[in-house]
Amino acid sequence: PSSTELESPSLLAEMPVGVKFGTFAHRVIEATDFAADDLDAALVSATELVRQRRRLELGDDAAAVAGFRAALETPLGERVAGNIRLRDLARCERLDELGFELPLVGGDDPSGRLTLEAIAEVLREHLSEEDPMAAYATRLEDPALRASVRGFLTGSIDLVLRLAGQRFAIVDYKTNWLGPAGEPLTLAHYRPESLAAEMSRAHYGLQALLYTVALHRYLRWRLRGYEVERHLAGVLYLFLRGMGGAENPVLDGSPCGVFSWSPPGRLVSALSDVLDRGAPA
């Protein structure tokens, strides 16, 4: 891509920063039919619907709609999604807000001990040095994180996509501002290395791992003949402010604003076992 393309302004740069706008954006996208004939009208309707429930001053509604449309029309890259756009998906190919409850080492009756070091060890064992999340194992030693966990982990996955070949991918929406304070926000602030750094800094890597195990267990329960390597496509973290639409810049195969990762099936199975039973003594 040219420097001009990379310096294109973020279409959501004028939107508020913080949790309230993040939640608002999630709800608008969830309420929108991606495949609607008139996508702008669908987004306007969804924006008005969500505003009735969540009061938020956007400033310019038209700018918000343009930014959301750009995100839905951005090709998601080849690695996980085969370069489809969210725009290409019918309602029957998406599952919004998949809730889960994962018992950790026995749940109410804990039978072991789960440490972040155990999760880090699974990453070190199953990821090559070239994997985009290989260095994340070291981040799990962050003293700000709890060293040991037990009980139940509850949450919901923003979106699960059904792709060609009965493959399923996790989508998580992020509205993080990744540019320096006081500078105009551009697509260049959402280039691949910036997204990888944010995935590690904010511990989205751990979130992605837990979501992947949750979907793995769900598919193992619901999909006949499920095989992790065959059916689990990976994760897509969509940084909405950095997605520029149909002509979105692509660097080394990675679109700006889109972090994609396909954890190896053996890692997913091993991590599921560690969450279930804890680390070996």
Using pLDDT thresholds of 50, 70 and 90, give the confidence band for residue 4: low
CA distance 141 to 126: 18
Contact present, 71 and 86 (Cβ < 8 Å): yes
Q: What pLDDT is recorded for position 1?
A: 59
Phi and psi at 245, nearest 5°, equal 95, -155
| Reported pTM | 0.93
195-200-201-203 Cα dihedral, nearest 10 degrees:
120
Percent residues over pLDDT 90 in the chain: 73
Phi and psi at 224, nearest 5°, equal -65, 135
Average of per-residue pLDDT values in the chain: 90
Over range 141-146, report the average pLDDT.
73
Task: Give per-residue pLDDT as tens, 81-137.
Answer: 999 999 999 999 999 999 998 888 765 665 667 888 889 999 999 999 999 999 999
CA distance 205 to 234: 12
Provide Rg for the chain, Cα atoms: 19
Indicate if 38 belongs to the active site: no
Q: What are the CA-CA distances from residue 86 to residues 71, 75, 222, 236 (Å)? A: 8, 8, 24, 11
Return the SS3 of 2.
coil
CA angle 142, 148, 152 (to 5 degrees): 120
Using pLDDT thresholds of 50, 70 and 90, give the confidence band for residue 39: very high
H or E element that contains 3: helix 3-6
The owner of tokens 């697509």 is 187
Percent residues over pLDDT 70 in the chain: 93
The owner of tokens 């994962």 is 102
Contact present, 2 and 8 (Cβ < 8 Å): no
Over range 245-258, report the average pLDDT.
94
Using pLDDT thresholds of 50, 70 and 90, give the confidence band for residue 226: very high
Query: Could you say which DSSP state residue 23 is in?
Result: H
pLDDT at 280 over 60: no
pLDDT at 146 over 70: no
Phi and psi at 244, nearest 5°, equal -100, 5
Question: Exposed, middle or buried by CB within 10 Å (0-12, 13-18, 19+), for 96?
Answer: middle
Helix-helix angle 61-73:39-53, to 10 degrees: 120
| 160 compared with 102, residue with greater pLDDT | 160
pLDDT at 213 over 90: yes
Q: What pLDDT is recorded for position 103?
A: 80
Q: Return the bridge partners of 3, or none.
A: none
Over range 268-278, report the average pLDDT.
89
List 40, 96, 131, 172, catalytic entry: 172
Task: Give per-residue pLDDT as tens, 41-77.
Answer: 999 999 999 988 877 777 788 999 999 999 999 999 9
Helix-helix angle 61-73:19-31, to 10 degrees: 60
The owner of tokens 């608008």 is 28
CA distance 276 to 6: 44
CA distance 100 to 214: 7
Using pLDDT thresholds of 50, 70 and 90, give the confidence band for residue 279: low
- The CATH code belonging to domain 3-277 is 3.90.320.10
